[in-house]
Amino acid sequence: MPKESFLINRIKSVGFALRGALLLIKTEASIKIQVFITLIMTAAGFYFEISSTEWILQIFAIALVLGIEGLNTAIEKLSDYVQPEFDKKIGLIKDISAGAVMLVSIAASIVGCIIYFPKIF
């Protein structure tokens, strides 16, 4: 069987990534909420006509939260697969992963406050 070209491999990789992103959005309640918040913040950005720099910061904050939430979900799924029964060590791993999501979410909220509070008040 001949080796596939670099381009074909990249296209397949993008397809796998899109499938994973859609699966994440379809199956995870926390991601659904975050996607809803993303839509609200995007609409707010247009409504308040935020600057290019503010758009960059907002997009980066949103992407970071969604990306870390995706990693958290993957860690949880893998942990459940490896150890389906309750295990303190697995619980610690899941807690650390959830903590990472919380830290990034707090930072993203602060970015949102910095951008929107002056425009609202």
Q: Residue 6's pLDDT band (boundaries 50, 70, 90)?
A: very high
Alpha helices in the chain (DSSP H): 6-27, 29-47, 52-82, 88-120
- Distance in Å from the first CA to the final CA of the chain: 65
Tens digits of per-residue pLDDT, 104-120?
999 999 999 999 999 99
Q: Judge contact between 59 and 45, C-beta under 8 A.
A: no
pLDDT of 86 strictly over 70:
yes
**Greatest extent of the chain over all pairs of C-alpha atoms, in Å:** 65
Give the pLDDT of residue 1.
61
